[in-house]
């Protein structure tokens, strides 16, 4: 199993380019199932999850062609309406084929995802939404079997804000008969990026980016070209790494307008930040100040940045309270940070972090994608060597991470 070895203590300095967003690329790739025409996507990140999604779509009969950063998907010959357990268990986002398959082909077999490292993460809202649109759904041998002659527009209220739930139902509704209204919908920028792509394909969608999305179904969608938005979580991860290490970096190709709460927390930690269109510059002099945070759906503080800020708080001046309200088991990085000397107490969904002057390098284990990013940041600021095991989690969501960090001066290498 591959590991990362990091010699800590070097402040990050320099410029790095932000990749396309994983959480926008995955649903948008599934949108290719909604049409027989070609969907050409640019700025697609080279990530394990993107490869897994491409394989899944190819297994269904989607033709895929690849060039650097560009993927063209054509769903003219889809003949297998199934997302098997082997794929869904490694990547929950595979459940995003459900809505498009039922909408265009009237049937889908999609494995239930089961539990995952950060919590139970059910898909009941995806299922209830499709049922409200007239689909007949049975759970058979661990699979969701959905059938509908043609989905019908419906008013659907989410009792919990769900990102992929909103995306699945928004895609399903594009080909439904009549108007669908999604209430208490997710407002994440990735939902808006998907809506932009669907509109380019001929869908009639309004209200994306607010909590009420209206979709007027059409008879068919057509091909389109779309450029995937930049990854706000990758951007945030590099900024936190620079702030925690007392660095000075510039991100290019990102977007500051979708990073408000993250930038606010970095300012509170003492960073100097300048933004200019697509570039974000951060400079940190000295030790960061501890920052309290509470995760919640967009535009509030993202759960996908909680672990990275935990690493920053671990070496900050003062104490911070971190509350996780989205996932019930998203503190697995805490045990590993403690191995590096962090002082963190956990009580239910709340952590109290008491910053220490210095972490010390040690062997640690990555448990999920963002926990891995937290350990990388901790390794960058710790004294001596940190070796992170199970970094396949990191490769699922960060493009060329060690090359990008090396470019910023980090002493990091992959052990094969």
What is the H or E stretch that residue 200 is in? helix 189-200
Instruction: Give every CB contact of residue 214 below 8 A, 6+ residues apart in sequence.
Output: 179, 180, 181, 182, 205, 206, 207
- Which residue's CB is nearer to ligand UD1, number 121 or number 255? 121
Query: Reading across the β-sheet that carries 179-183, which strands appear in turn?
Result: 155-157, 179-183, 212-216, 204-206
- Which residue's CB is nearer to ligand UD1, number 33 or number 359? 33
Least separation in angstroms between residue 56's CB and ligand UD1 is 13
* 369-381 and 232-244 helices, crossing angle to 10°: 20
Least separation in angstroms between residue 98's CB and ligand UD1 is 11
Per the DSSP assignment, residues forming a β-bridge with 110 are: 83, 144
CA distance 130 to 156: 9
Least separation in angstroms between residue 123's CB and ligand UD1 is 5
374 annotated active-site: no
6 and 362 Cβ atoms separated by less than 8 Å:
no
Instruction: Give every CB contact of residue 77 below 8 A, 6+ residues apart in sequence.
Output: 61, 62, 63
CA distance 230 to 20: 4
Least separation in angstroms between residue 309's CB and ligand UD1 is 14
289 and 316 Cβ atoms separated by less than 8 Å:
yes
Give residue 107's Cα distance to chain centre: 27
What CA–CA distances, in Å, run from 198 to 26, 57, 391? 14, 18, 34
Residue in 116, 197, 351, 374 annotated catalytic: 116
Binding site for ligand UD1 (CB under 6 A): 23, 26, 92-93, 119, 121-126, 160, 162-165, 190, 303-304, 326-327
Least separation in angstroms between residue 104's CB and ligand UD1 is 21
Active-site residue set? 116
């Amino acid at each position: 199993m591959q590991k990362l070895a990091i010699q800590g203590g070097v402040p990050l300095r320099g410029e790095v380019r932000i990749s396309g967003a994983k959480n926008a690329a995955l649903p948008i790739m599934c949108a290719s199932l909604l049409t027989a025409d070609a969907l050409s996507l640019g700025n697609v990140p080279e990530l394990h999850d993107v490869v897994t999604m491409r394989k899944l779509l190819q297994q269904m009969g989607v033709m895929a062609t690849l060039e650097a950063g560009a993927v063209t998907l054509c769903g003219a010959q889809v003949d297998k309406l199934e997302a098997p357990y082997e794929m869904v268990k490694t990547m929950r986002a595979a459940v995003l084929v459900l809505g498009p398959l039922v909408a265009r082909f009237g049937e889908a077999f999609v494995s239930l995802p089961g539990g995952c490292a950060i919590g139970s993460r059910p898909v009941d809202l995806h299922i209830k939404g499709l049922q409200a649109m007239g689909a007949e759904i049975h759970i058979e041998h661990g699979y969701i079997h959905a059938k509908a002659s043609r989905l019908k527009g419906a008013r659907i209220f989410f009792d919990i804000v769900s990102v992929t739930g909103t995306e699945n139902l928004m895609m399903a509704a594009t080909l439904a008969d009549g108007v669908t209204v999604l209430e208490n919908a997710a407002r994440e920028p990735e939902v808006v990026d998907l809506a932009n792509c669907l509109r380019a394909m001929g869908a009639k969608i309004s209200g994306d980016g607010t909590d009420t999305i209206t979709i007027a179904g059409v008879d068919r969608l057509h091909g389109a070209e779309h450029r995937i938005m930049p990854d706000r979580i990758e951007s945030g991860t590099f900024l936190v790494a620079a702030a925690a290490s007392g660095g000075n970096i510039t991100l290019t190709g990102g977007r500051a307008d979708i990073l408000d709460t993250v930038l606010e927390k970095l300012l509170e930690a003492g960073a100097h930040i300048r933004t200019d269109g697509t570039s974000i510059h951060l400079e940190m002099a000295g030790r960061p100040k501890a920052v309290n945070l509470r995760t919640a759906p967009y535009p509030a503080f993202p759960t996908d940045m909680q672990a990275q800020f935990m690493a920053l708080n671990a070496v900050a001046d003062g104490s911070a309270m971190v509350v996780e309200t989205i996932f019930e088991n998203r503190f697995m990085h805490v045990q590993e940070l403690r191995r590096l000397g962090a002082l963190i107490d956990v009580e239910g969904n709340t952590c109290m972090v008491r910053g220490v002057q210095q972490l010390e390098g040690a062997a640690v284990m990555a448990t999920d994608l963002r926990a891995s990013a937290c350990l990388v940041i901790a390794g960058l600021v710790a004294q001596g060597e940190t070796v992170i095991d199970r970094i396949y989690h990191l490769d699922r969501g960060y493009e060329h991470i060690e090359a990008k960090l090396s470019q910023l001066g980090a002493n990091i290498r992959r052990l094969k």
